[in-house]
Structure 1
């Protein structure tokens, strides 16, 4: 204040007045609480670093009790095999099969993604509808692209239009008895990319056709992921890794019949290494709604 031309007595008065202002006192307390939160996250990060390399464990035919105790409630990711070996979809679901069974079905997808770097943030602007056989023709045409993708966001249309496919799914031991029928369908070419974000639920991603690479950043890295709006990062994961070589990143690749558990709050970046069909699920038989209390962006 003095440097800006305010007299010393006036500056002293204003500082003392501010120190007693209720708004200032609340802001001071919030600043202290935020600093303590980052202190906790920072020390969690340090302790995790002493466990060894950042790795996602892989377990075969896991018992539900072990899954929930060691991963779901512990908020830890895990790759799971042997979970859906009984699904007919693993043998049946090819592009030819989908075209023959439901090729005339009108499906919704996200289109024109590559022209907009914020395609995921404003995905409602990218909704398109067309016959599934046209989507399949486009998948066959492109060797690799992120231009279009049938995603979970399109489920309100696709749940009904692709209903004949759900008979090819079966129960999943760690989900509610409805199992596969309560899932979300994903279909796209090699090269589809879901950029770095976190979800407000726990998720199970099951691969049916092709492979996906899943990169995950733990929640204690919150201060490093540049969360700028809702659940999204302001930059891509490769950009983050280029400037922050100490960023903790967990990686796994899932192929047909394999799954990965994505815990709430874990940031993830998912890319298709091949033509890909996946199912994702949130219908665990335990609490899985954590939207309450999540900050709302000023712009809504």
Structure 2
């Protein structure tokens, strides 16, 4: 699929003309609509991503050339963030160009206010651990060698206590510092957030919001009225590359383990590094319901505590996953971990594994899943590993900042 010569010609307009902003706004809307449609139909997206990226860059340039004010600079920074969030961004050198453009625009803006507060624990006590598991996740006393990891340890989940304590994110550049998180981004940045504790809920939604407002919302309000906002499964390092220097990718992520026996269709991420890194930042009570992913996962707990529930792929028949879309092609087998038919729910269980009373769950779940399930509460500095296809659910016990590394 091609973006079309008409749309391409629009990118060659004279930025000095009065019609440029309107034309580029329309082009951004078209590219966004076409990109969303291509994602839904699993069609190629590269050309629409590149069109969206370039249109956002040119529109921001037209905005500044037209009038250099703080308002226009902030508007342009937000638009460039959208290019990163929505489109990748696509195109050689585009991400670096956007970072340079944002830095130049931020010079025109007042600096972010220094905030000495920390992402601290909530005053309310944590709920009890779930009773939907039989064993704790294995905690290893020492880090396995790469040979041991490949030959033995990569077959089942384990936790390495304190493995990432030497990350800058836990020391000289502490991610629990609101002042640092504000300064590393600079003014006028926006991020994508989920609104609601659980994406299965009817009132759950998504939105873009200022990074500063999101951070402020993570500080518990005295009256408990703050909304549940969750920055979930987002490559924040694409937006704020300085944060990438605060983590150290474990060697295990580059070990290239063999496909597990219970997940023979495993393939590493299809990007150049064969690695996908995302962050998860939200308040106490935010939940990622039980679901599967198609990759090996190293999950690093940086700030706060998070409870993790796990069950092996063989539990799938008893997890009551949401059904695939009724109009999904009948010739294509449904792989829940591939998550191709219902982007949010096809790999997700409808059961609440954190329910206080396990008696409320189906008999088949209690008989076939609970005996195989395991659980642990991660502390800051802990590293969790689990193989592809494993069901996993997460619950933040307090304000939590985590990094997932799929490989």
Sort the TM-score into its range (normalised by shorter chain).
0.5 to 0.7
Partner of 1:61 in structure 2?
143
TM-score (norm 1): 0.65
Residues 150-161 of structure 1 mapped to structure 2, 5 A cutoff: 150-152=231-233, 154-155=234-235, 158-161=236-239
Matched, 1:102 2:185: yes
- RMSD, aligned α-carbons: 3.0
Conserved 8 A contact 1:61-1:82: no
Conserved 8 A contact 2:198-2:288: no
Partners of 1:144 and 1:185 in 2: how far apart? 25
Partner of 2:166 in structure 1?
86
TM-superposed CA distance for 1:133, in Å, is: 1.4
Partner of 1:47 in structure 2?
none
Q: Which runs of 5+ in 1 are unaligned?
A: 1-52, 284-300
Partners of 1:144 and 1:273 in 2: how far apart? 18
Partners of 1:79 and 1:281 in 2: how far apart? 14
Conserved 8 A contact 1:103-1:131: no
Alpha carbons of structure 1 residues 191 and 63: separation in structure 2 relative to 1, 3 Å: same
Q: Which has the higher strand share?
A: 1
Cα offsets for 1:223-279 (capped at 9, x unmatched)? 221122321112222459333444232001111110111221211110111111110
Q: Which runs of 5+ in 2 are unaligned?
A: 1-133, 256-271, 324-345
Cα offsets for 1:84-118 (capped at 9, x unmatched)? 23211112111422123225362423333259634
SS at structure 1 position matched to 2:136: coil
Partners of 1:266 and 1:144 in 2: how far apart? 35
SS at structure 2 position matched to 1:190: coil
Partners of 1:110 and 1:90 in 2: how far apart? 24
Matched, 1:173 2:251: yes
Alpha carbons of structure 1 residues 118 and 200: separation in structure 2 relative to 1, 3 Å: farther
Cα offsets for 1:205-227 (capped at 9, x unmatched)? 10011110001122222222112
Matched, 1:200 2:294: yes
Residues 1-300 of structure 1 mapped to structure 2, 5 A cutoff: 53-59=134-140, 60-72=142-154, 74=155, 76-91=156-171, 92-96=174-178, 97-102=180-185, 104=187, 106-114=189-197, 117-118=200-201, 126-142=205-221, 147-152=228-233, 154-155=234-235, 158-176=236-254, 183-229=277-323, 230-238=346-354, 241=358, 242-243=360-361, 244=363, 245-246=366-367, 247-248=370-371, 249-283=373-407
